[in-house]
Chains A and B, each alone.
Chain A
């Protein structure tokens, strides 16, 4: 089982460039979410989705867009990258029923110069 797949694993951008981090899950999970992880700050929620066509903002949504056209995919878009968006990004999925146990991807390390 692939679980949660994130691409790319590493990316370097210049300030102002745009890009999309891809996330796909094959577990038929209803919930998907994006977190960023910075040193000493744990994981902070960027955006999340409770199902196809439904998204909502998390704790730190500014500068990021998401869409959920299918159950499987939940891409994260950076519209105009800034150095403050240098971070490691994790996509996660979970089931509607149960205790919101998250299955994480391996992460995407983004550097904005």
Chain B
């Protein structure tokens, strides 16, 4: 069974601060996704990373895929209250059509 460890589990910061969320595994994944989930809704895709060492930017969010395709990080610059939510990483087994999720990071950004 492929496992993904996400850290930290909870993060509470002030508006304007920077933060990094980590997603680590002992397994290699075909690709890795980051999702964001708000209360009462399903997760929504933020980004997909496929190539080892890949870096993608989405406004104030920077995503990095490890060189060995076993780990990833999400960095948020100058966090805003609208960034509050549950962030989930997921490793994909593309051939099998299934994904393994980390336990998530609950982010709270206080005004």
Contacts and interface: CB of A to CB of B under 8 A. Distances in A.
Contacts of A104: 42-44
A41 interface: yes
B30 interface: yes
Given A30-B97, A41-B103, A58-B98, A99 B31 contact: yes
Contacts, number: 78
B100 A107 contact: no
Contacts of A40: 9, 103
Contact of B88 (A31, A43, A101): A43
A48 B97 contact: yes
Interface string A73-94: 0000000000000000010101
Contacts of A30: 97
Count class of interface residues, chain A: 20 to 34
A31 B42 CA distance: 17
B88 to A, nearest CB: 6
Q: Which of A41, A42, A44, A90 is the most central at the interface, judged by chain B CB atoms within 10 Å of its CB?
A: A42
A42 B98 contact: no
Count class of interface residues, chain B: 20 to 34
Given A42-B88, A106-B41, A100 B103 contact: no
Interface in A42-70: 42-45, 48-50, 56, 58-59
A94 B92 CA distance: 11
A31 B100 contact: no
Given A48-B97, A102-B43, A42 B103 contact: yes
Contacts of B35: 102
A56 B104 CA distance: 25
Query: Sorted from nearest, which 4 A-B pairs have the closest CB atoms?
Result: A104-B42, A31-B97, A99-B31, A100-B92
Given A42-B103, A104-B42, 10 more contacts: A35-B101, A43-B90, A48-B96, A59-B100, A94-B97, A99-B48, A100-B98, A100-B99, A101-B45, A102-B43
15 contacts: A42-B103, A42-B104, A43-B90, A45-B99, A45-B100, A50-B97, A59-B1, A59-B100, A90-B42, A94-B97, A99-B31, A99-B48, A101-B48, A102-B43, A107-B42
